[in-house]
Structure 1
Amino acid sequence: MGMIWTANRLSEAQARELLIDPEAYFSFIEEDHSEHAIDLDKAWQGIHWLLTGSAGPTDTAESLAIYGWEAGELLEIDAGYGQPALLWPDRVQDVNAALQRLTDQELQQRFNPEQMSNSPLYPDLWDEEDIFETYLLPYAQQLRKFYAAAARNRQAVVMAIT
């Protein structure tokens, strides 16, 4: 199946409940939150590269869009590939502002299949034909919309790699 990045928008009250009872995360994500959720499939690290030029976390708001573990609160459970992270609404505002500044054209200019294939990015498919247009860009656009909705509604975000 592989490493899939998922996130959900939630109220501050729901986020506090998850910190108190981390096991509730599993029942929360099993409920139908489809209008408040995003699944980046395996594109998450490629998108992070487009946002930051790095496979791993950086100290930027763009990086927190994917690697919220670097500044968020961790739930004391394992979601598959580590602990889910909570980004509070103030951080979500910062992430959204950073993502809204990046245009699709800028992301395309940052796309470099050769560099991406030679970096430790998961999965290794960056040199496939039309991968930017058919895979990375649509997911990057969904991510931008996801954070815009969370910011507009003053919501927190919980994210995990499963």
Structure 2
Amino acid sequence: MSMWGEYLRVTAAELEQALRDPEWALDYVETVTDAEEESEPEPAVARRYGTYKAWDLLRFLLARAEFPVNVIHGEEPFAEDEDWGYGPPAYLRPERVRTAAKALRALDYTRLTEGVDPAELTAAEVYPLDWEEPGVLEWGRPWYEGLVEYVTAAARADDALLVWTD
């Protein structure tokens, strides 16, 4: 079974509804997923986005860069009695999404991976644990660049983000 990083853009009103009623939030995730499944919108217009298995690589790289927002796991847990795959979901309020978007746009992937030795990833047991191949760090680039587009679009719309690992 694979672990994927997952996101859902929500308006401030939808965030408040999700916090009051976590079951509604999970149903809303499914509704959006079904609506976007066939069209596969680009990250800049998608309501839902996933970083596939790259979530832990991105977590490692962003932590190493002392990134100011936890965009990988969210910052404020909610639905703590709910399991959305691998634990409960969390969220980022719109102001934290704006902070994350600004910081993501200022940090390109080449700079993010500068000086990283794949052996560090293996030693840190970064999921999915296969870091020996040459050029392996490039595998995360499209997921990072998609995350930058997605979070930037959420910030422009003044949206919050629900975040979970599934």
Q: List 4+ stretches of structure 1 deviating above 3 A.
A: none
Structure 1 residue ranges without an equivalent (≥5): none
Counterpart in the other structure of 2:8: 8
CA distance in 2 between partners of 1:149 and 1:10 (Å): 12
Q: 1:157 aligns with which of 157, 161, 165?
A: 161
CA distance in 2 between partners of 1:42 and 1:125 (Å): 11
- Deviation of 1:110 after TM superposition, in Å, equals 4.5
Contact 1:50 1:110 in 2 (8 A): no
Q: 2:61 aligns with which of 50, 54, 61?
A: 50
Letter in 2 for 1:113: P
Identity %, equivalent residues: 29
CA distance in 1 between partners of 2:109 and 2:160 (Å): 25
How many residues are aligned here? Answer: 154
Secondary structure of the structure 1 residue equivalent to 2:9 = strand
Structure 2 residue ranges without an equivalent (≥5): 37-45
CA distance in 1 between partners of 2:109 and 2:12 (Å): 31
| TM-score after normalising by structure 1 | 0.86
Q: CA-atom RMSD, angstroms?
A: 1.8
Stretch of structure 1 that moved more, 98-107 or 73-82: 73-82
Secondary structure of the structure 2 residue equivalent to 1:8 = strand
- Deviation of 1:61 after TM superposition, in Å, equals 2.1
Contact 2:122 2:131 in 1 (8 A): yes
CA distance in 1 between partners of 2:110 and 2:52 (Å): 22
Stretch of structure 1 that moved more, 33-42 or 79-88: 33-42
- Deviation of 1:107 after TM superposition, in Å, equals 2.0
User: Does residue 61 of the first structure (1) align with residue 98 of the second (2)?
Assistant: no
Contact 1:75 1:86 in 2 (8 A): no
Counterpart in the other structure of 1:89: 94
Contact 2:5 2:164 in 1 (8 A): yes
CA distance in 2 between partners of 1:91 and 1:126 (Å): 31
Secondary structure of the structure 2 residue equivalent to 1:61 = coil
Give matches, 1:32-47, under 5 Å. 32=32, 34=36, 35-47=46-58
Q: What are the Cα deviations for residues 56-98 of structure 1, in whole angstroms up to 9, with x where unaligned?
A: xx7x424x11021xx3242232112111111110111111111
